[in-house]
Structure 1
Amino acid sequence: MNAPTAHQHLTPALAPREVPAELIAALQARFGANCSTALVVREQHGRDESPFVHVPPPAAVVFAESTQDVADAVTLAAQYKAPVIPFGVGSSLEGHLLAVQGGISLDVSRMNKVLSINAEDLTVTVQPGVTRKQLNEEIKSTGLFFPIDPGADASIGGMCATRASGTNAVRYGTMRENVLTLEVVTASGEVIRTGTRAKKSAAGYDLTRLFVGSEGTLGVMTEITLRIYPLPEAVLAAVCSFPSIEAAVHTTITTIQMGVPIARVELLDGASVRMVNQYAKLNLAETPMLLMEFHGSPAGVKEQAETVQEIAAEHGGVSFEWATTPEERTRLWTARHNAYFAAIQSRPGCRAVTTDTCVPISKLADAMLDSIAEANASGLHYFLVGHVGDGNFHVGYLIDPNNAQECALAEDLNHKLVTRALNLGGTCTGEHGIGLHKMAFLRTETGEGAVNIMRTIKRALDPDNIMNPGKIFSL
C-alpha cells in the first residue's frame, strides 16, 4: 500500500450525485424552515475536525425533531436516490460527515430528549442528539452515570455511529458493550427496532452491534437504550510524572497485568503537557505524565492507588499527586480533554492530522516509542495522548494545510504508525472510525474478503447507496 499523495487528505475523491430541485422543493414543503439551503448553514454541516478542507457542502440541511421527521426525510431522499448524511455535533475526526457525493445533511441535534430512565434496570433511553454531558446531568439525581467519555461533548448518536470509547473504556468498555437496543430508520425510510432492554439475548442476528460502528452507512439511529452505572462511592484521581514515555507505558502495563481495576489511565507526552499548561494555565511537570482515576469504596480506591504508586516508583515515577475533591478532578480532566484544542492553539493557523491506533497492551511501548522517534525525526509539531489502559493512543500532527511538504510528511508518518500497529496485531483505529481517511487501512487490516462481506451487507440494506456514501469502503 502506497502512502497517500501530498494533498489526498485535503482533497478526497469526489463523486457528486445530482440532488434534483424537486427533492429540495419536497423537503421544503414538508419541513418548512427546518430545511435550509443557506450557504452558511450548509458549510457548517460540510466540515468536521478532520484535515479534509476542500469538500463541497451538502445541497441542503434538514433539522429533524422526531423519528417521523427522519423517516420522512429519508423516504423523500430515497425516491430521488439522493445521499443522506446524519449529523450530530460535527466533532468527528476522519471525515465521517462530509458530503463527498453531495446530498442532504440530516441534523438530529434537536432530537435531544432523555426519553426514559429505568434506574432499577440500570438503563436509559435517549434520542441521538443528546450529548454525553447532558445525559449525565439529567441522570445524576438517580445516583447513576453513563461512563463512556471520548473527550469531546459528542452526541450519543455520533458515539454509537463510530463505536466510541475514551478515557473510561479500560473499566467500563466501549459503546459496543453499552448499547442495548436501537430504533433505526433504514435506507427505505422504514423504522425498525433492534435488541431489548434485557441484559442478554440469543434471538437471531445481533443487529444492534451491526449498526453500532456503521458510521451512518446503514441507517439513522433515532432512539438508543444504554447501560448506566451506579456512581462510585469514592473517586480518587492522581497524576504522576515519569522520566520517559517507556517508563509510563510499562507502569500502565504492569498495573493492568496485576489486575488493578483502574477506571482511567491516560498518558500525555511532555510536549502535550507543555501545551496543556499554556492553554489551561497549569503548572504540571513538562515530562511524560500519567493521569489516573480509581473508582470504588474509600478503602478500595486507597488500596488501588497505593499499589499503582508503588508500581510507578519502580519505573521512576515521581511527583505522585492526589486529587480528591470534585473540583481538583474536574480541573485535571478538563485539561486532558482540552489537549486537542491546546495543541491547535500552540500553532496558530494549523490543522491537525489526527490518527489513532490500538494494539495489544504488551506491544504498546513498541508502537508508541517507534512512532515518537519518527515524529521527532520529521521535525513536525505533534502531540500524543493515549487511553493506554486499553492499548489505544492518538497522535496529532500539526500542519500548515497550505504547505504541501508538511501535508505529505504527516500522511507518511500516519501511514507508518498505522502499518506498525497492524503488524503488531492491532487495529488501524481504536475509536475514531474509518470515515474517509482510513479506508485503505481497513482493507489491509481485515482483508478484501471481509470488506466484500461488508459491501454485501451494505448493498442488501442500502441498494441505492444513499446512506452516507463514500465512507468506510468504496462500492
Structure 2
Amino acid sequence: MTAAPITRPRRSPSPALLKALTEVLGERLSTGAALCEQHGRDESWHPAAPPDAVAFARTTDEVAQVVRLCAAEKVPVIAFGTGTSLEGQVAALEGGVCLDLSGMDRVLSVNPADMDATVEAGVTRKTLNSHLRDSGLFFPIDPGADASLGGMAATRASGTNAVRYGTMRDSVLSLTAVMADGRIIRTRRRARKSAAGYDLTGLLVGSEGTLGIITEVTVRLAGIPEAVSAAVCPFPSLKAAVDTVIETIQHGVPVARIELLDATSMRAVNAYSKLSYAEAPTLFFEFHGSPAHVAEQAETVKALAGEHGGADFAWASQPEERSRLWQARHDAYYASLALRPGSKGWPTDVCVPISRLAQCITETEADLKDCSVPYALVGHVGDGNFHLVFMVDPERPDEVTEVEHFNTRMVDRAIALDGTCTGEHGIGYGKMAFMAAEHGEALGVMADVKRALDPDNILNPGKIVPV
C-alpha cells in the first residue's frame, strides 16, 4: 500500500537500555530487522511500523521489568500476541520495544465447579479449548482467528458466538496487568459479581495495550451443549435475510450463531472451500441446547425464514459437517482475496442497533454500487454487526482513496443510526478519526484516563485516543 502511518518522532531505546533489557532477557531480546518488521504489522491493509527491538517475555515479572526499564527512558512499549488485529493496533508508530507475550502460554488453572479458567496472556483460544476437552466445558468466544486471550481481551474481541455467549467484555472475570510504571495489579477476584471499587477489569478490556499490559486472564466458561445443529439458508435479497434475523431475535429464539454472507462471499467460499451452496445472500445458523430445544429453535427459525423467501435449508448435524461449514465461514476473508489474486484485504466493520440493521445494510449496499473496487460483505448479524472486505490492488493508490471514501460513508451512516464505528475490530490508529463523532466530550475523558495512568504515553502510543 502507498498509505503510511501517522508520522511521529521516534523514541528509540538507548544502547544502555538495550543492554539492560538483554541482562533481563538474554537472547530473548532481538533487534533483527526482519523480526521487528514482522512485529510491526497485523492482518490488515495498514502499513507496518516496526519497533526498534522485540522482547520475548515469559513471566509477568519479566514484563514488569521491561516496562520499568523502558519507562525510565520514556521509550514506548507495544504488547504483541499473535498479530491478528485489524486496525494497526501493533504498529510501533514511535518506535520502541515490542513486548511479545506468545511465550506466556500456560493454562494456570481450571475451576470446573465455578466454570472459569485462568490463563497466561499468550494462550490461544484453540489451545484453551483443547485443554478443556474432557471437562464438559468450552470457551465460547470465537473471532475466527486463533488469537491469544490476552489480545482478545485487549481488543474486546467477539465473533460468531456473540449473539448467545456475548463478547470478551462479558467473558473476562479478572485480569493481571502491568501498568505504565511497572506496577503489577490484579483487577478483581473470581467472584461472579462485585461492588468493590472501580471496574478496572472493564477499563482494561478493550484498551488495546494503551492503559496496561495484560499478562493473565480469568475467563468464564460455558457448558458444552447436549445437542448442536447447524443450517445454511439462501435468500432472495440481503434485506430478506436481515429481516429474518431481526424477527428471530425479537421472537427470543436463543440461536448460538447467525452469520450473513452476501452473494460475493458465497461465491468466494464455494470456490475456496470446495462447496456448492447457492451464490445468493445466505444465513448460517447454529442451535445449541437439548435435542428437543434445538429442534424447536430450528423449526421456529425455518418458519420465519420461509416468510422471507428462505425456504431451502441445508442441514449439518454431524460434527464433521459443522466443522467444515464454520471453517468455510472463518475462511471467508481469505476466500474473498482469492477472487482477486494479488489483492490486499481492507477489512472494516460497524455495528448498529438490531432494529436499524436492515436500513444500514441496504443503504450501504446501494451506496457501494458506485464502488469500482471489488468487495464482499459478511456479518455477525445476530448482534447488529457486519463487515466489508475490500479487495484492493496494492499498486493502485486511487483504489485506496476510493475505499477510504466508502468506508467513511459507511461509518458515518452507522453512527447516525446510533451505532458504532467498530463492532469488534477495535480502533488502533485505523479508526481514530471517527472517535470524536461517536463519543463527543467523552473522548476527552478517555484522554484524561490515558494521561492519568500513562503520563509519559509509553504504552502503545498513537492508538485509540490522541494524546
Q: Residue in 2 aligned with 1:3?
A: none
The whole-number CA distance in structure 2 between the counterparts of 1:148 and 1:376 is 34
Instruction: Select 1:123's aligned residue among 93, 99, 116.
Output: 116
The whole-number CA distance in structure 2 between the counterparts of 1:174 and 1:56 is 29
Residue 15 of structure 1: how far off its partner (Å): 3.1
Instruction: Select 1:410's aligned residue among 403, 408, 412.
Output: 403
In the alignment, structure 1 residue 213 sits paired with structure 2 residue 175: no
Deviations 1:103-153 (A, max 9, x none): 100000010111000000011000011111111110121000011111111
- The amino acid of 1:166's aligned partner reads G
Which residues of structure 2 form unaligned runs of 5+? none
Q: Residue in 1 aligned with 2:379?
A: 386
Q: Residue in 2 aligned with 1:48?
A: 42
Q: Extract structure 1 runs of 4+ deviating beyond 4 A.
A: none
Q: Residue in 1 aligned with 2:22?
A: 28
- 1:185-196 matched pairs, under 5 angstroms: 185-196=178-189
Aligned length: 467
Residue 400 of structure 1: how far off its partner (Å): 1.2
- The amino acid of 2:403's aligned partner reads A
- The amino acid of 1:28's aligned partner reads T
More deviation, 367-376/12-21: 12-21
The whole-number CA distance in structure 2 between the counterparts of 1:178 and 1:264 is 17
The whole-number CA distance in structure 2 between the counterparts of 1:20 and 1:343 is 44
Residue 338 of structure 1: how far off its partner (Å): 0.4
Q: Residue in 2 aligned with 1:334?
A: 327
- The amino acid of 1:44's aligned partner reads Q
**RMSD of aligned residue pairs (Cα, Å):** 1.1
In the alignment, structure 1 residue 245 sits paired with structure 2 residue 241: no
Deviations 1:390-445 (A, max 9, x none): 00000011111221110000000000000000000101111110111111111110
The whole-number CA distance in structure 2 between the counterparts of 1:102 and 1:308 is 52
- 1:243-282 matched pairs, under 5 angstroms: 243-282=236-275
For the 8 Å contact 1:7–1:408, the answer to whether it is kept is no
Instruction: Select 2:92's aligned residue among 92, 99, 103.
Output: 99
In the alignment, structure 1 residue 158 sits paired with structure 2 residue 160: no
Deviations 1:177-196 (A, max 9, x none): 11001110111111011111
The whole-number CA distance in structure 1 between the counterparts of 2:357 and 2:342 is 32
Change in Cα spacing, 1:364 to 1:227, as seen in structure 2 (3 Å) is same
- 1:441-456 matched pairs, under 5 angstroms: 441-447=434-440, 449-456=441-448
Deviations 1:274-326 (A, max 9, x none): 11111111111110110000000000000000110010011000320111110
- The amino acid of 1:135's aligned partner reads L
The whole-number CA distance in structure 2 between the counterparts of 1:12 and 1:270 is 36
Residue 7 of structure 1: how far off its partner (Å): 5.5
The whole-number CA distance in structure 2 between the counterparts of 1:23 and 1:268 is 50
The whole-number CA distance in structure 2 between the counterparts of 1:121 and 1:282 is 41
For the 8 Å contact 1:145–1:228, the answer to whether it is kept is yes
- 1:434-445 matched pairs, under 5 angstroms: 434-445=427-438
Residue 29 of structure 1: how far off its partner (Å): 2.0
Q: If the length of structure 1 is used for normalisation, what is the TM-score?
A: 0.97
- Aligned to 1:419, what secondary structure does the other structure show? helix
Instruction: Select 1:301's aligned residue among 294, 301, 316.
Output: 294
The whole-number CA distance in structure 2 between the counterparts of 1:275 and 1:15 is 42
Instruction: Select 1:222's aligned residue among 215, 224, 228.
Output: 215
For the 8 Å contact 2:5–2:93, the answer to whether it is kept is no
Deviations 1:216-249 (A, max 9, x none): 0011111110000110000010110111101100
Q: Residue in 1 aligned with 2:138?
A: 145
The whole-number CA distance in structure 2 between the counterparts of 1:300 and 1:56 is 50
Q: Residue in 2 aligned with 1:88?
A: 81
For the 8 Å contact 2:302–2:311, the answer to whether it is kept is no
In the alignment, structure 1 residue 420 sits paired with structure 2 residue 385: no
- The amino acid of 1:383's aligned partner reads A
For the 8 Å contact 1:12–1:52, the answer to whether it is kept is no
Residue 376 of structure 1: how far off its partner (Å): 2.6
- 1:43-82 matched pairs, under 5 angstroms: 43-53=37-47, 55-82=48-75
Which residues of structure 1 form unaligned runs of 5+? 1-5
- Aligned to 2:458, what secondary structure does the other structure show? coil
Q: If the length of structure 2 is used for normalisation, what is the TM-score?
A: 0.98
